[in-house]
Amino acid sequence: MERKQGGPADPRQEGDLPGAAAARALEALLPPLRFAVKDGFAGAPRLAGFGETVRGAVSRARAAGAGDSPALRRLELEAEGFDGLPLAARRKALARIAADLAALIPVPEELRALARAARVEAEARPGGVPPPPVAKASPPVAESAPRASITKPAPRPTREPAPRASTREPAPVAEPAPRAPLPPDPPWHPLPDARTAEERAARRRRLATRLADLPRVHPAPRALLEERGRETVEAALELWPRAYQDRTALRRISELRVGDEATVLGTVAHVRIQRMRSGKPLLKVGVQEGGSALELVFFNPPPWRLKQFAAGESLLCSGKVTEGFGARRQMSQPEVEKVQAGDSANFGRIVPVYPGPADYQHPALRKLMKRLVDELVPAAVDDLPADLRARRELVGRAEALREAHFPPPGTDPLRAAERVTPAFRRLVFEELFFLQLALAMRRRGVRAEAGIAFDASPAALARAVEPLPFRLTGAQERALAEIARDMAEPEPMNRLLQGDVGSGKTAVAFAAMMLAVRSGWQAALMVPTEILAGQHARTLSRWLEGRGVEVALVGASARGKGQREARAAVAEGRARIAVGTHALLEQAVGFERLGLVVVDEQHRFGVMQRASLISKGRRPDVLVMTATPIPRTLALAFYGDLDQSKIGELPPGRTPVTTRLFGDSQRKAAYALARGELEAGRQVYVVYPLVEESEKTDLADATTGATELAKVFPGHEIGLLHGRMKPDEKQRVMDRFRAGELQVLVATTVIEVGVDVPNASVMIVEHAERFGLSQLHQLRGRVGRGAAKSFCLLLAHFRRAGDEARERLRAMEETQDGFEIARVDLRIRGPGELLGTRQSGQKLLDVADLYRDEAILEEAREEAFGLVERDPDLARPEHAAAREALAGRWAGRLSLAQVG
């Protein structure tokens, strides 16, 4: 037959041309065919059910009037058995299908090229092709077989329809035909490192693609990711699995025992739809293998599940074996997949289990993640310098992303879940490295700025501590000497002062403020509560009485003559020290010459709040303080750009506090101990989690508690203090408690920080299980400030306490070491709450764990600070990718780590 040319490479034959309707039916084959052959047949292993698709297209084309041409007959013959072909034979079949299709309709260029390559073979076949070769039979699956032994049945020319629901026993199903081995995973290789900025930008754009813009993405798994804020490919890939299941080995049904978690291969024997008592459907699928039976049970299945199974199909099943009616072995809500050629995301490998989705949603989610890993991850840019990766023996980023989601065979699933595999080591190192790189560059930038050189000579230091009515401890003197050295330098000071509750940080901060004041500058002290601000203002004023230094207390409201005068004194420079809460950040509050900013309890303030206060001066020195000790890893990770000082001893006169834990039923014993202290002339705090009774919870509240405690402690004056009271009301209550007019102070955590009443010897915490370790440690620090033995009594409702709460309470009982408590708190809660950044809505660390990854943090810090020392601006070509990543991918998260 003479060929009619439709272009330079048009192989269509005159007798084969179908009509328009028939051509449209055949055009439905173009999208899956193009997907299968692109990138060297990369999609071929994942082309499921294509033979059935070809048969359907040919049938529709004939129904639309297409003649019985040789090309159409060849297409029909190629479809028979296609879905059972091994990978190599499948590629050849796809080339022949492209040639036959090109003989019938116009096809895209890549299919025309494939057709030209296969045309000689196609035209050599007289009127058709012989049936495609069938792989040799393999022996039955052995126990604990490797992945390659997961097999599929020989292809059937037609599919058996699903049987109707019936209570009758079905006819026995024959054993499946010999099985051909499932092809191994297709080759997967990451692209080489990008050499130009343009190439890196193009690759980054690929991973920044929105899931909604990807073709052929099922809406259900995409919605699962988007609901969690993961709208791009890169964000989706950073949904790390919480666990893994090893599905590389098959078990025989006959060997299963109740309680086993197993993967089996069997043949569907029957499908029954029943009704539960509630009227909802119950689907039971019987599976047989080697004469043994297993029943799959699906409760309230969706409509698609009811149509999923047909007798005679081979099925892979994974789940927990339970005992059903009549001692039958069954799996409830198992994961199932029909055996088909290709690379499965759910069987024959170690599979990920993601946080959040229901069990039945995981197969589709894994399929999507597998596609992202196979098609897009190879282009991932490796932002870590090549010499660093070699020195630290780190795998590439693309390989790490792939293996974090789909670990290679032989990986221990428990180690993968604990994130201690080579893939996770790389990802953890990368996260901590860029965190440290940001801190290293910030530290370099701060030191390059012009700061203030204060007079911090020995004589000036002596004048600064002179107003104190006591002598500093050795630890306080060492910390002050470090601060003074920084303040004497012309570059800005950025220092963190750590010290346990009651260690005397305020006295050290006062001396630093006096260095600034005596050098002609102002100082600002920002604290988290109005009670603490008032206490500090009174204390500083008392120390400075008669010395010509005015202290202004800046309140939260500018109303009243006193507040207007205080703000005016600060703005005009008459007040050399300003003490306040967030009020200091108000735009109306100005300074004449701000030289030193002190932030107390820094974790109670956000990054932007500190920056706002600093901006009110000409790059003042910054001293941040915390009474919540920070574990070394946390300090390195998030305060690595600050110099650090530590006060490691308590002043004379501080006594250890005995901590005791009581259940709700032991309340009387706790009250008896407190009553004994009251009768000895001392005072008691009682702290509640709520101000008033709430309909949403049955937690005890301070208002009700004050009334009830009046009956428990008759003859003792009881006061009530909480955050809803007006500032002057709170001040009156505190003044009365401090003066001894009130013996019992019922309060909320408004007294958590800084309140100092030496005569108070008992702290009772109601619903202690509802408080964090840091809060409990701070509350305990309100007592033990005098010479008398002191007690912290934790009243817990153990029925409501989870494992974490019990662990916190045990830690409080066992140690008074604030640094050990902080380490436990870090492990339980993570860095977000400890740093006061949880409210940001963004996780500080996504994959690293500071409790687990201390050694990796040390390595990452060494590399990052060394890199900045060698190449301060990351200007060298080999550091360009790191510079781009720091300014782009990591910029938002790393802003949380900046300390002012």
User: What is the tens place of the pLDDT at every residue in 722-752?
Assistant: 878 887 888 889 889 989 999 999 988 877 6
Report the alpha-carbon distance of residue 364 to residue 480 in Å, rounded.
Answer: 60
Q: Is the pLDDT of residue 156 over 70?
A: no
Between 386 and 118, where is the model more confident?
Answer: 386
- Note the pLDDT of residue 602: 59
Half-sphere exposure of 899 (CA within 13 A, CB side): 35
Q: Is the pLDDT of residue 123 over 70?
A: no
Query: What digits encode the pLDDT tens for the residues 528-562?
Result: 888 888 889 999 999 999 999 999 999 876 567 87
What is the end-to-end Cα distance of the chain in Å, rounded? Answer: 82
DSSP of 732-766, one letter per residue? HHHHHHHTTS-SEEEE-GGGSSS---TTEEEEEEE
In the 8-state DSSP scheme, what is residue 126?
Answer: S
Beta carbons of 334 and 296 less than 8 angstroms apart: yes
Q: How many residues does the chain have?
A: 900
- Note the pLDDT of residue 830: 61
Nearest of 533, 517, 656, 690 to residue 601 by alpha carbon: 533
Q: What proportion of the chain, given as a percentage, has pLDDT over 70?
A: 81
Query: What digits encode the pLDDT tens for the residues 263-290?
Result: 999 999 999 999 988 889 999 999 998 8
Residues 6+ apart with CB under 8 A from 700: 688, 689, 690, 766, 767
Residue 369 CB neighbours (<10 A): 23
Q: Is the pLDDT of residue 351 over 60?
A: yes
Average pLDDT over residues 135-149: 34
Both tokens of 234, joined, read 């890169």
Nearest of 419, 393, 444 to residue 865 by alpha carbon: 444
Q: Is the pLDDT of residue 2 over 80?
A: no
Report the alpha-carbon distance of residue 650 to residue 499 in Å, rounded.
Answer: 9
Q: Is the pLDDT of residue 866 over 90?
A: yes
Beta carbons of 209 and 232 less than 8 angstroms apart: yes
Q: Is the pLDDT of residue 687 over 50?
A: yes
Q: Is the pLDDT of residue 606 over 80?
A: no
In the 8-state DSSP scheme, what is residue 191?
Answer: P
CA distances from 153 to 55, 81, 340, 466 (A): 20, 11, 8, 91
Average pLDDT over residues 86-103: 84
Average pLDDT over residues 242-253: 91
- Note the pLDDT of residue 561: 80
Q: Is the pLDDT of residue 15 over 60?
A: no
Distance of CA 165 to the CA centre of its chain: 45
- Note the pLDDT of residue 898: 42
Both tokens of 9, joined, read 């490479």
Whole-number mean pLDDT of the chain?
81
Q: Is the pLDDT of residue 138 over 70?
A: no
Inter-axis angle of helices 422-448 and 880-887, nearest 10: 80
- Note the pLDDT of residue 166: 40
Report the alpha-carbon distance of residue 179 to residue 91 in Å, rounded.
Answer: 20
3-state secondary structure of 654: coil
Q: Which residue has the tokens 């170690």?
A: 350
Beta carbons of 173 and 311 less than 8 angstroms apart: yes
- Note the pLDDT of residue 270: 93
3-state secondary structure of 13: strand
CA distances from 408 to 399, 428, 489, 719, 789 (A): 10, 19, 55, 65, 60
Query: What digits encode the pLDDT tens for the residues 624-645?
Result: 888 766 666 676 766 666 778 8
Query: What digits encode the pLDDT tens for the residues 767-817?
Result: 888 887 878 888 888 888 777 889 999 998 876 666 777 888 888 888 877
Residues 6+ apart with CB under 8 A from 351: 244, 245, 247, 345, 366, 406
Q: Is the pLDDT of residue 230 over 70?
A: yes
Q: Is the pLDDT of residue 897 over 60?
A: no
Q: With the CA atoms of 316, 322, 323 and 328 taken in that order, what torsion angle do they form, in degrees rounded to the nearest 10?
A: 0
3-state secondary structure of 769: helix
Between 2 and 443, where is the model more confident?
Answer: 443
Both tokens of 13, joined, read 């034959």
Report the alpha-carbon distance of residue 357 to residue 360 in Å, rounded.
Answer: 8
Report the alpha-carbon distance of residue 397 to residue 427 in Å, rounded.
Answer: 7
Query: What digits encode the pLDDT tens for the residues 437-455?
Result: 988 887 776 666 678 999 9
Q: List the Cα angle 197/199/204 in 5-degree steps.
A: 90
Which residue(s) pair with 331 in the sheet? 296, 321
Q: List the Cα angle 293/297/303 in 5-degree steps.
A: 130
- Note the pLDDT of residue 653: 63
Report the alpha-carbon distance of residue 742 to residue 684 in Å, rounded.
Answer: 9
Beta carbons of 298 and 280 less than 8 angstroms apart: no
Q: Is the pLDDT of residue 893 over 90?
A: no
Secondary element (H or E) of residue 182: none
Average pLDDT over residues 658-685: 92
Q: Is the pLDDT of residue 174 over 80?
A: no
- Note the pLDDT of residue 341: 57
Question: Which segments of 165-239 are extended strands (E)?
Answer: 180-181
- Note the pLDDT of residue 321: 95
Both tokens of 366, joined, read 């894994």
Which residue(s) pair with 643 in the sheet? 495
Q: Is the pLDDT of residue 182 over 80?
A: no
Strand arrangement of the beta sheet that strand 657-663 belongs to: 657-663, 790-796, 760-766, 683-687, 744-747, 718-721
In the 8-state DSSP scheme, what is residue 159?
Answer: P
SS3 content of the chain, % helix, strand, coil (to 5): 45, 15, 40
3-state secondary structure of 208: coil
Q: Is the pLDDT of residue 14 over 50?
A: no
Report the alpha-carbon distance of residue 635 to residue 428 in Å, rounded.
Answer: 17
Both tokens of 154, joined, read 């020989």
Both tokens of 98, joined, read 């492209």
Beta carbons of 768 and 700 less than 8 angstroms apart: no
Question: Which segments of 159-240 are extended strands (E)?
Answer: 180-181
CA distances from 381 to 386, 397, 600, 889 (A): 12, 7, 42, 11
Q: Is the pLDDT of residue 204 over 90?
A: yes
In the 8-state DSSP scheme, what is residue 15?
Answer: G
DSSP of 317-349, one letter per residue? EEEEEEE-GGG-EEEES-EEEE--SS--SSSSS
Q: With the CA atoms of 315, 319, 324 and 329 taken in that order, what torsion angle do they form, in degrees rounded to the nearest 10?
A: 60
Residues 6+ apart with CB under 8 A from 614: 597, 620, 622, 900
- Note the pLDDT of residue 496: 86
Q: Which pTM was predicted?
A: 0.61
How many DSSP H helices and E strands does the chain contain? 32, 23
Question: Which segments of 707-846 are extended strands (E)?
Answer: 718-721, 744-747, 760-766, 790-796
Query: Which conformational region is residue 467 in: left (phi greater than 0), alpha (psi within -120 to 50 degrees), or beta?
Result: alpha
Report the alpha-carbon distance of residue 725 to residue 738 in Å, rounded.
Answer: 18
Between 736 and 898, where is the model more confident?
Answer: 736
Between 605 and 434, where is the model more confident?
Answer: 434
Report the alpha-carbon distance of residue 365 to residue 346 in Å, rounded.
Answer: 10
Burial of 196 (0-12, 13-18, 19+ CB in 10 A): exposed
Both tokens of 806, joined, read 């019990």
At 141, the pLDDT band (50, 70, 90 cuts) reads: very low
Query: Which conformational region is residue 39 in: left (phi greater than 0), alpha (psi within -120 to 50 degrees), or beta?
Result: left
Which residue(s) pair with 74 in the sheet? none
Q: What proportion of the chain, given as a percentage, has pLDDT over 90?
A: 40
Both tokens of 272, joined, read 């029954």
Report the alpha-carbon distance of residue 430 to residue 382 in Å, rounded.
Answer: 10
